[in-house]
Amino acid sequence: MAMELVHDTAYLLRQKESGETSQIVHLFTKKSGRVIVIAKGARQPKSHFSGYFQPFSELAVQYYYKEGRPYHFLSKIEFQTLRLPLLQAHKSALYGMILLEMADKTAEASPDEGLYELMSDSFTRLNEIGAVPEAIHCHFILRFLENHGLGLNLDACAACGEALYDAAVSERDAHLLCPRCYGGHAARIFLSAAELNILRDPFGGKNAIFQREVINLNHHLWQILGLHFDRLQRLNTIETMGKILE
């Protein structure tokens, strides 16, 4: 079967060295989801690939696709949307790395434009001056769950339908329950009224107290992710961030 030249845009998920001078690169592409390419000679000083394997910036790629191959041949790469300030902003970059690790651990070799758009939107927000990365991260996880058909109903108890003031998270299906339906015992994951309000409007507040609340809330959201995705129970980037920021 003939090789087909594919044009796409992509984010870098991860990379590793291959042979003397080449690089194997996992891309999350808009049209095909995860695509693994080999960049021949990428580690040679004058390679036309060098300098482009950056996280967060959107890449325009061309590669030769051949069915049944474990990886395809990268032929061209350019920046589509450059987001360099994000690389310099320490905290935003750490939050950005969590998003990339989540995508890396869940992305399949099939299109997921919902996740692609969510990544573009989140990296753009993280790259803005005055960005609140904690809130952007919270927003990302909510949309990530929705994209998998696992969105949280923030307004009504999943059992009785009553309006939620605060909520316990069911460990069976990660649905939100009113404390009465959850039963008397303490829930491992409990969302306070203030936290539920942040979830309803993650970009609503900007002060320091708000930021602290969102950090706590993000811990709860990571627990909820862990209920749904075994692969997301341990995120290396979160452990790294814990060591650096706390």
Q: Binding residues for Zn ion, per CB under 5 A?
A: 157, 159-160, 178, 181
Distance in angstroms (rounded) separating the CA atoms of residues 193 and 196? 5
Nearer Cβ to Zn ion (159/194) = 159
* The 176-177 sheet, strands edge to edge: 176-177, 167-169, 190-191
Nearer Cβ to Zn ion (178/232) = 178
Q: How far is the CB of 161 from Zn ion (least distance, A)?
A: 7
Q: Which residues pair with 11 in a beta bridge?
A: 28
Q: How far is the CB of 130 from Zn ion (least distance, A)?
A: 39
- Rounded to 5°, the CA angle 190-136-121 comes to 135
Nearer Cβ to Zn ion (6/181) = 181
Q: How far is the CB of 155 from Zn ion (least distance, A)?
A: 12
What does DSSP say about strands 58-65 and 33-39: parallel, antiparallel, or unpaired? unpaired
Within 8 A by CB and 6+ apart from 227, the residues are: 169, 171, 174
Q: How far is the CB of 242 from Zn ion (least distance, A)?
A: 34
Nearer Cβ to Zn ion (135/199) = 199
Q: How far is the CB of 95 from Zn ion (least distance, A)?
A: 33
Q: How far is the CB of 179 from Zn ion (least distance, A)?
A: 8
Nearer Cβ to Zn ion (61/168) = 168
Nearer Cβ to Zn ion (28/182) = 182
Distances in whole angstroms, Cα of residue 55 to Cα of each of 10, 15, 59, 81: 10, 11, 9, 11
Distance in angstroms (rounded) separating the CA atoms of residues 222 and 217? 9
Contact 49, 77 (CB under 8 A): yes
| Helix 90-106, helix 236-245: angle, nearest 10 | 160
